[in-house]
């Protein structure tokens, strides 16, 4: 039983224990009843005192829960003594001067008896009821099955010697259902941990240079002893934002590894009664999220937004007084922030990411953490909160390049050619690998997005070409022969909602390309569409190193499965930006606030 709240069970046990103690004292010393006179009050005295104490305990525990004070959480004995001492002071202050010495002795006896009752009641709860959800850590803990997406290693957690090469460790991680390995030295003692994200980052930084284990291993990862209870482990992992925790023997050697989701599965946590129209949007203050938030509110949903406000809050400020809207400032990498925002949530839409190759290249470690590691933390949080649906924004860039203008489907070979694309693909795999009932997961591989938004962006191809045409009267096309699928931001929103509102059995564990086959355009053709809307501009074609991304995409699956189609054309999007410019809804396209890259450079 989670002991963070003062439960009805604990209150009932305390109440009974207090009454029994008072009755026993009165039975031993009948004159105790005379303190408060005779009649009804004397008979009600045990019940009144017990009810008063339980009420004080409940209020105090609620205070602890809200304040989240570590000191108060750790010292239960002090909290009991303070409460009982407070009761004693109240009683003495009321009766001071009216009681003989033997009566004060009775009160002291009462105080000691109640204190003993409080301690004993907690021992009963802890040993009998509180231990039930825990499990013996002497038994082998097998991590979750991989649902067929990866080969499952059921013999033991992934504990490897640090004498292995990086490539060998990477191969073993990729071949297992784990995304990490616990490392040991030559003597078998714990030496650190390595995640697949650490290996990706190191390979980017080192380039073609060989990578050593010392360049990657995290020697500061928290560990625990085997004797630690499962409840304390779970609390520790939530506090420190850990997905996994190595358990060491008394000698300091790794014995096994525990996942937060494993601990959750051992606890009989009853899902809260929640409205099935409460949605959390992670990254809801951004380019797509600000449209998504308004769209869902108009459809009658209760909407919560979690965002770190790296791009500001202007896009959502107008919604502050909306009765169905709530905002949480936080980081998608922090499980405590996620759990707080997920309270009573039925569906989660994950939009938060560093988008675009130049932005991702600024800080590969931050990109891996935000775009990939946070996805794994998110699934753990969803399972912890018993969320029903998770919808994830991936990208068509996972296809890399198509040959002979072939239309790429969800089953086509994947060939990510950038860090952004690789983090999207790995996130898809991690989410599908970790998710289990009741959580249904749906992936959307977005085409290149365009269109105006409450948080405008001019680092997207259609948007920047139109803005430059308006302000400079000239646009430059680099290369021009590359294919790109396109989709308006409003159609992205409607596609996500179609997936969220579809029956679970239809959308669960599905990957959908999100876009329109009619809007597969070469970059040069997008320039022609801009010139069609603004005939007086100049269009220059620049011979430059080609962007390796070149793909045409098929969108039949989403159109047939979810009965969804894109409604806004590229021509519509270009005209929308032209109208917004004439209505002075944005300034110069070169301003920092319109570019993810420039915002990240400053951050």
- Higher local confidence (pLDDT), 479 or 24: 479
Note the pLDDT of residue 241: 81
Q: Out of 13-17, 320-324, 383-387, which region has the weakest mean confidence (pLDDT)? A: 13-17
The DSSP secondary structure of 176-239, one letter per residue, reads: SS-SEEEEE-TTS-EEEEEEHHHHHHHHHHHTTS---GGGT-BTT---EETTS-HHHHHHHHHH
Instruction: Determine the pLDDT at residue 160.
Output: 87
Same domain, 166 and 36: no
**Residue 448's pLDDT band (boundaries 50, 70, 90)?**
very high
The last residue of a domain, from among 78, 109, 129: 129
Question: For every residue of 241-281, which 3-state class applies, written as one string?
Answer: CCCEEEEECCCCCEEEEEEHHHHHHHCCCCCCCCCCCEEEE
Q: What is the average per-residue pLDDT within 295-304?
A: 94
CA distance 218 to 253: 16
405 and 550 share a domain? yes
Q: Is residue 378 part of a domain?
A: yes
Within 8 A by CB and 6+ apart from 409, the residues are: 513, 553, 554, 556, 557
Report the pLDDT value the prediction gives residue 71, as an integer from 0 to 100. Answer: 40
Provide the domain count of the chain.
Answer: 3
- Which of the given ranges, 52-56, 130-134, 353-357, 511-515, has the highest pLDDT on average? 511-515
pLDDT at 386 over 80: yes
- Structural domain includes residue 168: yes
Most confident of 85-94, 400-409, 472-481: 472-481
135 band by pLDDT with thresholds 50, 70 and 90: very low
CATH number at residue 525: 3.40.50.720
Q: Is 534 within 8 Å of 576 (Cβ atoms)?
A: no
pLDDT of residue 97: 47
- If asked whether residues 60 and 179 sit together in one domain, one would say no
Based on the domain organization, do 286 and 256 belong to the same domain?
A: no
Overall average pLDDT of the 307-326 stretch: 93
Q: Is 141 within the bounds of a domain? A: no
Position 68 confidence tier, pLDDT thresholds 50, 70, 90? very low
Per-residue pLDDT at 233 exceeds 60: yes
Q: Are residues 220 and 349 in the same domain?
A: no
Task: Look at 50-59, 108-117, 119-128 and tell me which has the smallest mean pLDDT.
Answer: 119-128
Does 269 fall in a domain?
no
pLDDT digits (tens, 9 = 90+) for 472-513: 999 988 877 888 999 999 999 999 999 999 999 999 999 999
SS3 readout for 501-543 = HCCHHHHCCEEEEECCHHHEEEHHHHHHHHHHHCCCCEEEEEC
Quickly state the pLDDT bin for 203 (edges 50, 70, 90): confident
Residue 150 phi/psi, 5-degree rounding, is -140, 160
pLDDT at 60 over 80: no
What would the mean pLDDT of 442-467 be, rounded to a whole number? 95
Is residue 21 in a domain?
yes
Q: Position of tokens 């009821």?
A: 129
* pLDDT value of residue 131: 38
pTM for the full model? 0.71
pLDDT of residue 280: 97
> Is the confidence at residue 148, as pLDDT, over 60?
no
- Res 144 pLDDT > 50: no
- Mean pLDDT is lowest, of 112-121, 459-468, 517-526, for 112-121
Claim to verify: residue 74 and residue 183 sit in the same structural domain: no
Mean pLDDT of 118-131: 55
Q: What local confidence, expressed as pLDDT, does residue 226 receive?
A: 73
Q: Does residue 382 surpass a pLDDT of 70?
A: yes
Domain boundary among 201, 232, 264: 264
Residue 509 in any domain: the answer is yes
> What's residue 11's pLDDT?
64
Last residue of a domain, one of 264, 295, 314: 264
Assess whether 482 and 526 both reside in one domain.
yes
DSSP character at residue 393: E
Q: Pick left, alpha or beta for residue 413 (phi over 0 → left; psi -120 to 50 → alpha; otherwise beta).
A: beta
- Segment 432-444 shows an average pLDDT of 92
The reply to whether 250 falls in a domain is yes
Residues 191 and 118 in one domain: no
Report yes or no: 360 and 314 within 8 Å, Cβ to Cβ: no
Between 66-70, 244-248, 334-338, the lowest mean confidence (pLDDT) is in 66-70
Q: Are residues 400 and 477 in the same domain?
A: yes
pLDDT tens sequence across 329-354: 999 998 889 999 998 899 999 999 99
Clarify whether residues 309 and 186 are in a common domain: no
| 38-52, 81-95, 382-396, 535-549: least confident range | 81-95
The answer to the question of residue 138 being in a domain is no
Q: How far is CA 448 from the centre of its chain?
A: 25
Higher pLDDT, 29 or 284: 284
Across the range 362-374, mean pLDDT stands at: 90
Residue numbers of the domain that contains 253: 159-264
Shared-domain flag, residues 111 and 222: no
Q: Which residues pair with 178 in a beta bridge?
A: none
Between these two residues, 75 and 514, which has the higher pLDDT value? 514
The CATH number linked to 166 is 3.10.580.10
Q: Are residues 352 and 406 in the same domain?
A: yes
């Amino acid at each position: 039983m989670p002991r963070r709240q003062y439960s009805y069970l604990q209150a009932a046990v305390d109440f009974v224990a207090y009454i029994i103690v008072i009755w026993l004292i009165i039975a031993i010393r009948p004159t105790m009843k005379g303190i408060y006179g005779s009649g009804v009050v004397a008979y009600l005295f045990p019940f009144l005192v017990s009810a008063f104490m339980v009420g004080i305990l409940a209020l105090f525990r609620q205070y602890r829960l809200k304040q989240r004070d570590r000191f108060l959480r750790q010292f239960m004995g002090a909290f009991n003594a303070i409460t009982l001492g407070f009761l004693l002071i109240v009683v003495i202050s009321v009766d001071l001067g009216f009681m003989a010495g033997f009566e004060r002795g009775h009160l002291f006896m009462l105080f000691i008896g109640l204190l003993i009752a409080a301690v004993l009641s907690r021992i009963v709860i802890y040993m009998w009821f509180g231990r039930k959800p825990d499990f013996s850590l002497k038994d082998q803990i097998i991590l979750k099955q991989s649902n067929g997406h990866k080969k499952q290693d059921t013999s033991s957690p992934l504990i490897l010697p640090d004498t292995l090469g990086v490539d060998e460790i990477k191969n073993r991680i990729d071949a297992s259902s784990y995304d990490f390995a616990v490392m040991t030295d030559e003597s078998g003692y714990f030496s650190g941990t390595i995640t697949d994200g650490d290996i990706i980052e190191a390979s980017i930084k080192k380039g073609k240079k060989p990578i050593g284990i010392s360049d990657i291993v995290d020697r500061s990862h928290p560990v625990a002893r085997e004797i630690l209870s499962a409840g304390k482990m779970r609390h520790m992992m939530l506090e420190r934002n850990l997905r996994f925790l190595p358990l060491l023997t008394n000698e300091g050697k790794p014995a096994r590894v525990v996942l937060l989701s494993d601990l959750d599965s051992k606890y009989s946590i009853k899902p809260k009664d929640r409205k099935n129209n409460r949605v959390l949007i992670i990254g809801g203050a951004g380019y797509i999220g600000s449209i998504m938030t308004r769209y869902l509110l108009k459809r009658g949903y209760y909407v919560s937004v979690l965002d770190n406000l790296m791009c500001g809050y202007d896009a959502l400020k107008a919604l502050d007084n909306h009765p169905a809207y709530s905002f949480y400032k936080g980081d998608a990498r922090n499980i405590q922030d996620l759990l707080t925002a997920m309270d009573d949530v039925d569906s989660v839409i994950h939009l938060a990411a560093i988008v675009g190759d130049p932005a991702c290249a600024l800080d590969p470690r931050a990109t891996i953490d935000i775009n990939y590691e946070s996805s794994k933390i998110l699934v753990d949080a969803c399972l912890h909160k018993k969320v029903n649906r998770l919808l994830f924004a991936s990208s068509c860039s996972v296809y890399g390049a198509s040959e002979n203008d072939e239309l790429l489907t969800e089953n086509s070979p994947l060939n990510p050619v950038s860090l952004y694309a690789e983090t999207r693909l790995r996130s898809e795999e991690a989410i599908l690998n970790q998710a289990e009932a009741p959580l249904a997961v749906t992936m959307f591989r977005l085409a290149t997005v365009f269109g105006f938004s409450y948080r405008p962006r001019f680092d997207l191809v259609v948007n920047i070409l139109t803005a430059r045409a308006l302000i400079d009267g000239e646009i430059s096309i680099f290369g021009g022969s590359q294919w790109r699928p396109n989709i308006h931001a409003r159609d992205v929103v409607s596609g996500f909602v179609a997936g969220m509102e579809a029956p679970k059995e239809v959308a669960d564990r599905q990957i959908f390309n999100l876009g329109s086959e009619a809007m597969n355009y070469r970059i040069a053709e997008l320039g022609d569409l801009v010139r069609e809307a603004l005939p007086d501009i100049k269009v220059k074609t620049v011979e430059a190193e080609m962007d390796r991304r070149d793909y045409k995409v098929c969108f039949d699956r989403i159109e047939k499965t979810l009965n969804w189609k894109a409604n806004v054309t590229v021509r519509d999007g270009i005209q929308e930006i032209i109208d917004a410019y004439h209505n002075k809804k944005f300034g110069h396209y070169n301003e920092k606030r319109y570019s993810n890259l420039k915002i990240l450079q400053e951050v």
